[in-house]
A = this chain, B = another copy of it.
């Protein structure tokens, strides 16, 4: 739920230009996923998008501009994810639903590959890594607020060490995303009840 691959932006109705832009970003994601952020040249991205450099540069003047656009997509996706968590119903159910949506959306090999590349950049403290780290910081603070509110209302245990809990939750999100990439034939839906059990064990919600 953090170093996230694409979440579709729900505010749709794109123009032809938007669609071309989207097309370039999808091609770029595929290239970054396969060759890394450094290994994927603008030439490679053009080839993947089946566009001439001239056509592509009309949408993005540089590789950095493409990376920034992907980061922005991630930010929008992460916000949508967090908004879904703010909905009605017990926190554990909402968290399970959001996590399953996230994992479903990240099922394709390219998203998983991109996530590994983002991790690698984050571990190396590169500019790309820092940009994604910043987005993660936003997600983390929204997440903390949701947990604090649930503690205040007595919905989950009041004595939780929230930093430890969030490290585990984010770790589960990242790890499952990777795992599911490594097991492409595994039926993701089998995970849901166990994810719920894990959250119940971790957060100790009060019975409804």
Contacts and interface: CB of A to CB of B under 8 A. Distances in A.
Interface stretch (A14-22, A43-51, A147-155, A171-179): A171-179
Contacts of A172: 168, 171-172, 175
Given A190-B161, A190-B164, A197-B204, A123 B176 contact: no
Contacts of A161: 190, 194
A202 B191 contact: no
A40 interface: no
A79 interface: no
Nearest to A195: B168
Nearest to A120: B116
Contacts of A180: 167, 171
A186 B167 contact: yes
A208 to B, nearest CB: 17
Copies in the complex: 2
A178 B119 contact: yes
Contact of A123 (B168, B171, B181): B181
A134 to B, nearest CB: 13
Interface in A126-174: 133, 161, 163-165, 167-168, 170-174
Interface residues of A, number: 44
Contacts of A174: 174-175, 178-179
A179 B173 CA distance: 10
Given A172-B171, A197-B204, A202-B194, A116 B113 contact: no
B119 A123 contact: no
A198 interface: yes
B175 A178 contact: yes
A189 B168 CA distance: 12
Contact of A163 (B113, B175, B186): B186
A18 B178 CA distance: 35
A174 to B, nearest CB: 4
| Shortest beta-carbon contacts, A-B, top 6 | A201-B201, A175-B175, A171-B175, A171-B176, A171-B179, A174-B175
